[in-house]
Structure formats: C-alpha cells, structure tokens
C-alpha cells in the first residue's frame, strides 16, 4: 500500500538557518504530493503541493520538488524564521475519488531567535 516516511524530529535550528525536512514515499501509480503545516493548537494547513514528476511546489519561501526517480519530496527553505516553528506533515494522494491522503508521522520544527 501507499506510505510516507519523514525524517524524525524534533528539528531545532537558529533563525536564518537553511532547512531541509526529508520525505520519501511508496505508492502505486502517480500520486500527488503535499506538505501540510500545523501550528500549535490548530488544524493543518496546506503549505504546498505537486501533482506530477519534476513539479516544484512553493509557498511562503518553502519549496519541494517531486522527484519520481528517488520517490522523494523534500521540503526546503533558505532562511527560516521563528514563526516557522510548527509541525510539518508530508502526504500523498492517489488522486482517485475521495482524497484519502496518507500522511507521514510529522516533523516538529523549532526555530530559536
């Protein structure tokens, strides 16, 4: 079945550091890939998405490229801010019918000033 594996957290960085959160997936067919962010005490918000190989999703300075050859969708940001502290979830969807997303376990990110 489909699955998503994220790098384990927690991740702690200083402000303005470079961020990478690794995500790899296993899926049949051609899934769509997503990154969601969850701020403390809130639900999840869509951060970015990519629907086919070599697509790059980007939003709020974050980027991720759909790499079919390595089955990866790593999240990157060049210079993180304290306000980026949150839990980040990688997810995939088969795109068939209802969006039954499969989520990774989440990576908690803390940015220190």
Q: Which two tokens stand for residue 2?
A: 């489909």
Residues 6 or more apart from 9 whose CB is under 8 A from it? 87, 106, 107, 108, 109
x/- mask, another protein, residues 26-65, rule CB under 8 A, reads: ------x-x-x----xxxxxx--x-x--------------
Check residue 74 for interaction with another protein (CB under 8 A). no
- Least CB distance from residue 109 to another protein, whole Å? 15
- Tell me how far apart the alpha carbons of residues 39 and 62 are, in angstroms, rounded to a whole number: 16
Of 14-22, 65-73, 74-82, 88-96, which part binds another protein (CB under 8 A)? Answer: 88-96
- Least CB distance from residue 95 to another protein, whole Å? 5
Tell me the C-alpha to C-alpha distance, in Å, between residue 89 and each of 14, 77, 113. Answer: 21, 15, 23
Q: For residues 17 and 53, which CB has a smaller minimum distance to another protein in the complex?
A: 53
- Least CB distance from residue 14 to another protein, whole Å? 25
Sign of the C-alpha dihedral computed for residues 41, 91, 105 and 86 taken in this order? negative
- Tell me how far apart the alpha carbons of residues 52 and 38 are, in angstroms, rounded to a whole number: 24
* Interface with another protein (CB under 8 A): 32, 34, 36, 41-46, 49, 51, 89, 93, 95-106
């Amino acid at each position: 079945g489909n699955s998503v594996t994220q790098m384990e957290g927690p991740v702690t960085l200083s402000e303005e550091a470079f961020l990478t959160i690794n995500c790899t997936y296993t899926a049949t067919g051609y899934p769509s890939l997503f990154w969601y962010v969850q701020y403390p005490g809130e639900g999840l918000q869509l951060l970015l998405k990519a629907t086919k190989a070599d697509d790059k999703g980007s939003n709020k300075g974050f980027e991720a490229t759909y790499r079919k050859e390595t089955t990866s969708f790593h999240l990157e940001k060049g210079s993180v801010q304290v306000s980026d502290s949150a839990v980040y979830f990688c997810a995939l969807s088969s795109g068939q019918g209802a969006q039954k997303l499969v989520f990774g376990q989440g990576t908690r990110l803390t940015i220190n000033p």
